[in-house]
Chain A
Amino acid sequence: MSSELDFESRLNRRTIITGAAGGVLFSGLVARLVQLQLFEGERYKEIANENGVKLDLAPPIRGAIYDRFGVPLASHRQAGRVSIVREQTPDMDATLAEIARHIDLPMDERERVIQQARSQASFQSTIVKSELTYEEFARMTLLAADMPGVRADMAATRSYPRGRDFAHVLGYVAKASSDDLSRLTENASPEESSLLARLFRHPDMRTGRSGIERAAEPWLRGEPGFRRLETNAAGRVIRELESDDLAPTPGRDIGLTVDAELQRAAIDRFGDESGAAVVLDIETGAILAFVSTPAFDPNDFVNGISYADYNALRENDRSPLYHKAYDGTYPPGSTFKMVVATAALEAGINPDQRVYCNGYYRFGNRTWHCWKRGGHGNVDMHWAMKGSCDVYFYDIARKIGVEHLADVSRRFGFGQVWDLGLTGGRGGTVPDDAWKRAALGEPWYEGETLNYGIGQGYLSASPLQLALMSARIAAKGRLIEPYIIGEGPRPDKPIPYAEPLDPDHMQRMMDGMYGVTSEAGGTAWRSGDLGLGGPRLAGKTGTAQVRRISEAERRSGVLKGDEIDRRLRDHALFVAYAPADDPKYAISVVVEHGEGGSSTAAPVARDILATAIRRDSRAAARWQQTASASGSGNGGGNP
C-alpha cells in the first residue's frame, strides 16, 4: 500500500511537472509575442504599411491654352471610359460582346481592344471605349460591378472646346508612338528617358503631335507624380491611398494673343470657301486671328482617329490638315505692289511721273498684259496703286531691278520664316539672281523682273507675311514682328532687319490703299465702308495665278468661273488695315480659287475687320493684366 501511495504520488508529481513544463513553454510563446508585438510593434507596423503600397506613376495635367481674354482653347475635361484587365477577365471575347450589348462598340473596335490587350502585360488595363456619354457611363458603372476585370471610371481627357477653330494653331495631342518617344527622349539622360518612356506608356498620357501642343510640349507637360496604391501580394490594386504629397505638377498654361470670338467670326465669314486670314494688332504685332479653313477637329485625334477618317481628311481637296495661313505660300499678286512702289520711291523714282497704260507692255519680243484690257491710260503711282495698273508696275520694276526689289521685300518680312512657337511655318520665296542660280541653276532674266513687279513668278508669301506687310505699312514703317504666344514659351526673336522703312513712303502707300477702297477708280471701292457708321478700311486687292494663262486662251477670251475646274481658278487676295485714319488692325485674306480679290476676298476682310473693331479685339489681354498685377515682365506685348 505504501509503495502504491509512493507510486501514486510520483505519478501526481510527474503530472504536475508535465503541466508546469507546458506552462513554461506557453510563457515562452507569450514572451515572444511581447517582443514582436510590444517592443518591435512600431517597426513592424511601418513595414506593414509600406508592404501593400505600390507607387504608380501619375500623369500630370497638361497645361491649358487660353485666348487673350482667358477663353479656354485647350483644356481638360473629365470623361467616362471603360477599361478591361486581361488577367482578371475569364473570357475577353464574351466580356466584350456583353459590353457591346449595352454600349455602341463595333466589331473592329473589339478586335482592336483584344489586340492591344494581348500586346501588353496581362495586369495592365486596356481602354475599351473612352468618351462615354452620360447614359453609357451610368450603364457601364452598374454593369462593371458584375463583370470581373471591367472598370468604368473618369479620366482627364485633353479637350479643345473651340473644336476646329484653332486646329492648326494648337495642333493636337495623341498617344505617343515609338517615333514620338524617340523624339521626346532625344536629348534626355538614360534615367530621364526611362521615366519618360514609363510616363508615356500610361493610358492617360498624351503628347503634342503638331502646333503649339508639340512645339511647347515641355512647357505644357508638367512633372509626373505618383499615386499610392494599396496592392495585395499578387500586385492587384485594392484601393487608392491619400497621395497629395506626391501629386504631379501640372503643366504650365499658355496665353495666346488670339481672340477666339474674332476667329470664330472670321471662319464663319469664309463659309464654304477655303482659305486663310490673319489679323494683326498693328501696335504690337500680336496675332488676333489666325484662320485656315476648312480645318479638322483636334478632339478627334486625342483618342486616336480612325484610319478612314484620317484618310478622308488627307484626301479632301480643300486640305483641312494644312495650315494655309502659316504653311501655305501664294504668289502675292497685286498686293505686292506696295512693296514695288516703296522700292521705287527708295530708288528715287518720282511718284508723280506718269506711265501710259494701253493694256499691254512690250519688252524684248514678248508682251505683258495689264489686267484691264483697255488699259488705264496715263497713271501716276497713286492711280496705279488704286487701279492696280500692271503696266505701271512692269515699268518701274524694270527700272528698280531685281536686287533692290528683293531687298525691300525682305524688309517687309517676306522670305523669312516667322517663328511663332508652333510647328510649321514657311517663309515663301523672295527671288533674286543668287536664289535663281542656286535653285534652278540659271541666271535671272530681266523679263522675270516684270512679273516680280506684279507679285507673280517665283515670288511667294504666306498669308501671315501679307498681313505683316500691311501692318508694317500701317505702322508707318515700324518693323513690327508677329507673335501669338502672349504668355508662355516665346520663341527667340529673330534679329530685326536693320533698315526701317521710310514713314513718308509708307504714308504714300497708305494713301494708295485708301484710294483702292475709297476713291473712284479703286479696285475695291465698294468694300471701303466697314458698316460701322464712320471708320473705313484701306486695302489692296490681289490675284494669285494658279496656272499661267496661255496666249490661245487669252485670244479666245479667258475662261471664267464655272467653266473651268475649281482647282484651276486663281486665288483671291486682299490685304488691308483699319480704321483707315487711325490704323489698329492689319489683315490679309486669301480665298483659295476665289478668283477676284475685290469680289471675294475684300468683303471677307472688311467683315472681319469690322468684327475686330466692334469687339475691340485689341483690348488688354487677361495675361497682360495678371502680368502687370504680379509685377512680372513676362506678359506684355512686343514693344
Chain B
Amino acid sequence: MARAARASAIRFEDRTLAGTLGELPWGLVLMLITVACIGTAALYSSTFTNPEEAGLPARHAVRFAISLGIMFVIALVPIGIWLRAAWPAYFVTLAMLVGVELFGLTRGGATRWLQLGPIGVQPSEFMKLALTLALARYYHNNLTFQSGRFFIHLPALFIIIVPAALIFKQPDFGTTLALIASGAVLIFLAGLYYRIIAAVFLAGIASAWPIYMFVLQDYQRERVNTFLAQLTGQAVNTLDDGYQIEQAKIAIGSGGWQGRGFMEGTQAQLDYIPEQHTDFILTVIAEEFGFLGATGLLALWAAILGWGLVIAGRSASLFGRFAAVGCVATVAFFILFNVAMVLGLVPVVGVPLPLVSYGGTVMFTTMACFGILLSVHIGRDERLSTQGMI
C-alpha cells in the first residue's frame, strides 16, 4: 500500500512550487513556531527587569523568523542536491576546523571562531549538519545486508572521530558530545550488531576514568566533580561551583504543579540563575508555568521529533532516512542534554535548548536540520541512484 502511494506520487520534476508547499507537514512547522513563541515569552519574563536586556525577546523572534525562512529554502532544495553536496560540505567544514586549530580566534578561553573576511564563523556548528549529511551519504552507498559487521562502520567511525577530536580540542565539549551522540545513533540505525554495541558501551564505561584523568581540562574536571558531589547529595559551596545548578533546582522545584504565574517567578525575576536566558531558560518556564508547562514543552518537542522519525521512516532512499534521523538525533541531543543538565542529571556543559534559549547559532543549526528534514519529506520518493557520483 505504501508502494502504491509512492507510485501515484508526482515525480519531483513535475511539481509546482505551490504544490510542494502544500505538501509540507504544516503541523510540524506550526509546532516549531509554538516552541519559538514559548521561548520568546520565557525570554521576555526573564529579561524585562533588566533594561539592558530589553531587546532580547524581539531579537529572538526576528532570528526565528529568519531561520524559518532559511529552513524553507533548505527544504526546497531537492534532496539529490544535498546528496551531491554531502561530501564537499563535510570536507570543507573539516578544513575549516583545521583552520580554526591553526589560526582561530580565541574568545572566552576557547578557540572556536574563524575569521572569514568580515564575518566570524564557528565551523563546529556547521559540522553538526555536515557530519549528518556525510554519514547519510556514506551509508547510502555502502550499506549491505552485512550491515551488522563492524568493518562496514569503521569509515563512519572515522568520519565522526576526526571532527569530534578537533572540536574537543577547541575545547567545545558540548558540540563534541553532540557529534558523537548523533553519529552513534546513525551507526546504530545502520544495523551494527548489538553485541558490538554492548562491547563498545562497556569499553566506554571502562575508559571514563582515564578520560577524566588525562583528557579533560581542569575546568571540565571541576564541573564533573561538582556535578558528582551534587548528584550524590554532598555539600557543595552553593555560592560558588554548585550555585547555578542549586538555584536552578530551587527555581524548578518552586514551580510546583502550575507554576507561580507568568512573570511571577522570584528566582527568574530576581536574577538568581546565571545564564537563565540562554542555557537555563527552562528554569524560567518550570518556575512560572510549573510541571504542566515544563512537561508540555517536552511533549511538544517529543511530538516534533517523533514526526521527524516518521518522515525518516517514509523515505525511499537510504540517504533521506539517515539524514532525517541524523537531524532528529542532533536536535534531540540538544534538548535531552540541556534539560538533563538544568535538572541536575548531567554535568553543566554549555548546551542550549533549541528555539527556546537565546542565541543565534543554535537557532540556525536547529532550523537547518529541520530544513533537511523537510527536504527529505518532499523528496521521500526519490530513490537517488548514486552511480558515478563518487
Chain A positions within 8 Å of B, measured between CB atoms, are: 3-4, 6-7, 10-12, 14-15, 17-19, 22-23, 25-26, 28-30, 32-34, 36-38, 40-45, 47-49, 51-52, 230-234, 238
Contacts and interface: CB of A to CB of B under 8 A. Distances in A.
Return the 10 tightest CB-CB contacts between A and B, nearest first: A44-B253, A48-B254, A41-B256, A232-B270, A45-B254, A37-B291, A44-B254, A3-B145, A32-B343, A52-B270
A28 B298 CA distance: 11
A22 B345 contact: no
B325 to A, nearest CB: 6
Given A15-B309, A19-B306, A22-B332, A233 B270 contact: yes
B302 interface: yes
11 contacts: A18-B325, A26-B302, A30-B295, A32-B344, A36-B253, A37-B290, A42-B256, A48-B266, A52-B266, A52-B267, A232-B270
A597 B310 CA distance: 116
B251 A48 contact: yes
A33 B250 contact: no
Given A23-B302, A36-B343, A230 B256 contact: no
A22 to B, nearest CB: 6
A15 B189 contact: yes
Contacts of B153: none
Interface centre among A11, A14, A45 (most CB of B within 10 A): A11
Contacts of B253: 36-37, 40-41, 43-45, 47-48
B298 A26 contact: yes
Nearest to B292: A37
B248 to A, nearest CB: 10
Given A26-B336, A28-B345, 7 more contacts: A3-B145, A7-B143, A15-B321, A37-B253, A51-B250, A52-B267, A230-B270
B223 interface: no
Given A18-B309, A26-B302, A234-B271, A38 B256 contact: yes
Contacts of B254: 41, 44-45, 47-49
Interface centre among B302, B336, B345 (most CB of A within 10 A): B302
A5 B291 CA distance: 44
B122 interface: no
Given A32-B343, A47-B250, A19 B271 contact: no
Contacts of A18: 185, 188-189, 309, 325, 329
Interface in B312-350: 312-313, 318, 321, 325, 329, 332, 336, 339-340, 343-345
Given A37-B257, A37-B286, A233 B271 contact: yes
Contact of A230 (B266, B295, B312, B332): B266
Contacts of A32: 340, 343-345
B191 interface: yes
Nearest to A36: B253
A10 B336 CA distance: 26
Contacts of A6: 145
A29 to B, nearest CB: 5
B37 to A, nearest CB: 21
Given A15-B312, A26-B298, A37-B286, A44 B272 contact: no
B341 to A, nearest CB: 11
Contact of B267 (A12, A42, A51): A51
Interface of chain B, helix or strand or loop or mixed?
helix
Interface centre among A18, A28, A231 (most CB of B within 10 A): A18
Contacts of B143: 7
B332 A10 contact: no
Nearest to B148: A10
A577 to B, nearest CB: 70
Contact of B252 (A37, A232, A238): A37
A363 B253 CA distance: 103
A10 B321 contact: no
Contact of B272 (A19, A40, A51): A51
Interface centre among B190, B250, B255, B295 (most CB of A within 10 A): B250
A10 B192 CA distance: 11
Given A37-B290, A37-B294, A14 B266 contact: no
A211 to B, nearest CB: 46
A238 B270 CA distance: 8
A26 B312 CA distance: 20
A33 B332 CA distance: 18
Interface string B172-199: 0000000000000100111100000000
Contacts of A30: 295, 298
Given A33-B343, A37-B255, A232 B272 contact: yes
B147 interface: yes
Given A25-B336, A26-B298, A48 B286 contact: no
B221 interface: no
A169 B246 CA distance: 59
Interface in B143-172: 143-145, 147
A41 B258 CA distance: 11
Given A18-B188, A41-B256, A231 B321 contact: no
B191 A15 contact: no
B305 interface: yes
Given A23-B302, A29-B343, A51 B256 contact: no
A33 B336 contact: no
A358 B38 CA distance: 114
A31 B97 CA distance: 39
Nearest to A32: B343
Contact of A14 (B189, B286, B332, B340): B189
Contacts of B291: 33-34, 37-38
A7 B147 contact: yes
B214 to A, nearest CB: 29
Contact of B191 (A10, A45, A47): A10
Interface in B255-281: 255-257, 266-267, 269-272
B270 A51 contact: yes
Contacts of A49: 254, 266
Contacts of A25: 336
A12 B145 contact: no
Contacts of A17: 188
A26 B189 CA distance: 19
Nearest to B321: A11
Nearest to A23: B302
A48 B255 CA distance: 10
A15 B325 contact: yes
A40 B233 CA distance: 14
Contacts of A14: 188-191
A505 to B, nearest CB: 81
A15 B313 contact: yes
Contacts of A15: 189, 309, 312-313, 321, 325
A411 B287 CA distance: 80
A33 B294 contact: yes
Interface centre among A25, A37, A40, A234 (most CB of B within 10 A): A37
A37 B249 CA distance: 9
A138 to B, nearest CB: 26
Contacts of B294: 33, 37
Contacts of B287: 48
Nearest to B243: A233
A42 B256 CA distance: 7
Nearest to A148: B51
A4 B189 CA distance: 16
A36 B257 contact: no
Contacts of B267: 48, 51-52
A249 B216 CA distance: 59
Contacts of A45: 253-254, 256
Nearest to B345: A32
Given A41-B254, A45-B256, A52 B249 contact: no
A352 B321 CA distance: 139
A14 B147 CA distance: 12
B334 to A, nearest CB: 12
B270 to A, nearest CB: 4
B325 A36 contact: no
A29 B337 CA distance: 10
